Structure 1
Amino acid sequence: MQLIQTCKRCLYPASHPLGLTLDEEGICSGCRIHEEKDSLDWDGRWKKLEDLVRPYRSIGGQTYDCIVPVTGGNDSYFIVHLVKEKLGLNPLLVTYNKYFNTSLGIWNLANLRIRFNCDILVQNVNPNSVKKITRTTLREFGSIYWPCLAGQTVFPVQTAVRYGVPLIIWGAHQGLEQVGMFSHEHEVEMTRRYRKDHDLMGKEADDLLSIFDTLTEDDVWQYRYPSDHDLDRVGVRGIYLGNYVRWDPKAQHEEMMRQHEYRTASFARTFDCYDHVDCFNFMDVHDRLKSYKHGFSKVTDHATREIRHGRLTRDDALALVRRYEHAPLQHTDKFCDWLGVNIRALNFMLDQHRNPRFWKQTDPGVWAFSPIEQGEAPYGDERVFSGGGFIANSQLADADQNKYITVGKGWP
């Protein structure tokens, strides 16, 4: 297997699926763009954000000022904190029900809307259609999360058109944060093309329809992006707060834990306790698929981020990756029960998406992994690092929770 070149500062490989370049010093584009965080005038950029949102304030508070997509995890609390408490806007929160919900995520979402006193809309797509789409996207291009990503990125836009509220406010731009796809000063905004090419792996809803599959028009219509005519009529635009605020997920989550009781939990496959606590599958089956296809898993994203913020050395980050990246899955039984397949069928489908650049089958059912990064920290390194002091202040699930909470209002 050919060794893939890796950034000398962080742990990202040149084969990163979002596209990454290495300069003559061997430093990746993501690390170079991250350097802007220590040189930009963030006070000036905040003033620019205030000027940007001013025309969208409703007259007399008669309607919503903006749309804010949220979940029961990730950066939702910090985003709403900035929008409601710092910018003084009146947002309409929207969330897509991914159906893989943890009780902790349901609690966080309920607490979010109550603490910030916001209205919220929830999209519940027919679960039978979601399951059919999940079977198709798992089989065809190795994704159990396509419906989640499609729904989370289109429901806010559909709501903006439906309610005539043109401004959508997102958190950080993934392409900028991970691989330096843009500069903060480019002030990129939400686009249909980025959603299709990167979030949806090049597949729009209508691309899933085929005479060789069971999906129909009734299954996919809710995932369609609004027409250009409707977008132009309302003037829809989506901005990213990460272009105007020095984005630091660890510090932001800890501030929200102190101020607004955001709840966190530990995971088997990463040291980060703050992201994706609302979902059983993101850090489980979905994360394994990521490692099968791209040769690295979410812990590499977390470790790279902490290197860039100066909270981990490269060697310690690499040791953390080696410790967590192939940890056993914990929630496959829930996923198999939900999807209606057995574990052998699931493993067969997962194995079809192993990338031969990173995986070699040595015997039937036996695979050898060739790590991207040949660093000094060996496999089986038993050193224990805090990962910069991440704190789990709750549990991911109740001991008797054997199924997803498909719909839940939660409790504060």
Structure 2
Amino acid sequence: MMRFCKKCVMPNTRPHITFDKNGVCIACQNNEKKKKIDWDKRLKELRELCEKYRRNEEGKYDCIIAVSGGKDSHYQVYVMKELMGMNPLLITVEDVFTMTEAGKHNIQNISEAFGCNIISFKPNRRAAKIITRYMFEKYGRPLWYVDRLLYTVPLYYAAALNIPLLVYGENVSYEYGGIDDEETYSAREQVFNGVAPDIKLDELVETGVPRDELVYLDAPSREVLNGLDPIYLSYFVEWNGVKNYEFAKKRGFKDLTHEWDRTNHIENFNQIDSYGYLLNAWMKYPKYGHAYATDYAARWVRYGILSREEAVKLAEERDHDLDPKIVDDFCKFTGMSVREFYVALDKLYNRELFELNEFGQWRLKKENVEERRHPKW
């Protein structure tokens, strides 16, 4: 049976999350610890780190920022360029799916709003199609290929361009619970955090993708990693996705208002770049019994925006409801029919967590629904 955090709505099925003896998840515990942090002192530490890497040479970049164009990316660039006075080079890994109008606008806006150059890495679409379908059908990890590049490409570019300071947003494991939930400024181990775990290249070659088309899927060598200084900005500044959104709007960021009301989300401003990519976050539902509505409702409880009861209601209403636009775009890219998609999806449901209702739909078992509403520890 699933167990749920007594403060938020996060279940113990989230990979690598831990709970204390009182039934409080590590993300909520860390949220309480953050309230005692001296953020002025942390900002001073960031300034000192920036001074270490500031080149003071015309035309030379001081750091690299990995961006998507999203709300958090806008905030990262603001902190590093306008607060710290650094000259950043932005690097983005392009989405392979159909972009939203908001997504198209935002990646252009981040360059225009802050006056930054962007290097855009376009993934090999042939390899992406083959591997994306394979990873979906076999592992339920449809966006492994793109996510892996999101982690590795900035590291390779930082090494190749000899720009050691590489800036990421939040430490996902510390903020939300995961494999490496220790508080640290260093993001050097991020590529090993379990979001896009290693897959043997021999296995991918067997899908029909030549080995020489799998460049960058392996993490850089330890020697290369040790020569870089990747950081989590969330260590130095108080991280809050809603406040980042409110800031980004003031600098030209657009959300999905009047464009798309996503059935499985509770907001319209996070991960809004494209359609098909959102399958990745939703796939946690058949595998672990929770998806994006739970993720963000839990954060909003920690931010003080929602009560736990309100978060439970949103999770029950939204988590299971996979938006058809996501499915259509995913199938369009991979070449699957919608029927093939749902046949494959049906095999991925965790039978320990789910049962079929009278309409042939997978739903959480009643004991899991009741446990979410009234957690017992």
Structure 2 length-normalised TM: 0.91
| Residues 1:251 and 2:257 aligned together | no
Of residues 253, 278, 290, the one that matches 1:262 is 253
Spell out the pairing of 1:173-188 with structure 2 (5 A cutoff): 173-179=171-177, 181-184=180-183, 186-188=184-186
User: Which of 241, 263, 276 is the matching residue for 2:233?
Assistant: 241
- Say whether the 8 Å CA contact 1:205–1:221 is kept in structure 2: no
User: Which of 346, 357, 365 is equivalent to 1:351?
Assistant: 346
Q: Secondary structure at the match of 2:89?
A: strand
Q: CA deviation at 1:82?
A: 0.6
Q: Give the gaps of 5 or more residues in structure 2.
A: none
**Equivalent pair of 2:95/2:277 in contact (CA under 8 Å):** no
Deviates more, 1:359-368 or 1:74-83: 359-368
Q: Is the 8 A contact 2:188 2:225 kept in 1?
A: no
Helix, strand or coil at the partner of 1:169: strand
Shift of 1:369: 2.7
Aligned residue pairs total 366
After superposition, what is the alpha-carbon deviation per residue over 1:334-381, rounded to whole angstroms, capped at 9, x for unaligned?
221221111111111112211122223579965343264426869xxx
Corresponding position: 1:228 with 2:222: yes
Q: Which amino acid aligns with 2:218?
A: R
Identity percentage of aligned residues: 27
Could you state the TM-score of these two structures normalised by the residue count of structure 1?
Answer: 0.83
Please name the residue that 1:12 is paired with: 10
Residues 182, 289 of structure 1: alpha-carbon distance in 2 compared, 3 angstrom cutoff = closer
What are the Cα deviations for residues 311-349 of structure 1, in whole angstroms up to 9, with x where unaligned? 111001111111211224221222212211111111111
Q: Could you tell me whether the CA contact under 8 Å between 2:106 and 2:253 is conserved in 1?
A: yes
Q: Quick one: distance in 1 between partners of 2:315 and 2:358?
A: 26
RMSD, matched Cα: 2.2
What letter is aligned with 1:26? Answer: G
Summarize the alignment of residues 212-361 of structure 1 with structure 2, pairs less than 5 Å apart. Answer: 213-232=207-226, 235-258=227-250, 260-265=251-256, 266-283=261-278, 285-331=279-325, 332-361=327-356
State the distance in 1 between where 2:254 and 2:200 align. 34
> For residue 342 of structure 1, what is the amino acid of its counterpart?
S
Aligned to 1:135: 133
8 Å contact 2:165–2:230 — kept in the other structure? Answer: yes
- Check if 1:50 corresponds to 2:47: yes
- Give unpaired runs (5+ residues) of structure 1: 379-412
Q: In structure 2, what is the equivalent of residue 21 of structure 1? A: 18
Q: Distance in 1 between matches of 2:23 and 2:359?
A: 38
1:407 match: none
Residue aligned with 2:109, SS: helix
Q: Tell me, in whole angstroms, the C-alpha distance in 1 between the residues paired with 2:353 and 2:9.
A: 16
The one-letter code of the counterpart of 1:315 is E
Rounded Cα–Cα distance in structure 2 between residues aligned with 1:230 and 1:308 = 37
**Which sits farther off after the overlay, 367-376 or 115-124?**
367-376
> 1:208: Cα distance to partner?
3.6
State the alpha-carbon separation in 1 of the partners of residues 69 and 56 from structure 2: 31
Q: Shift in Å at residue 14 of structure 1?
A: 1.7
Displacement after TM superposition at 1:310 (Å): 1.2
Verify: 1:148 aligned to 2:150, yes or no.
Answer: no
User: Deviation per CA, 1:279-301, whole angstroms, max 9, x where unpaired?
Assistant: 21243x33432201110011111
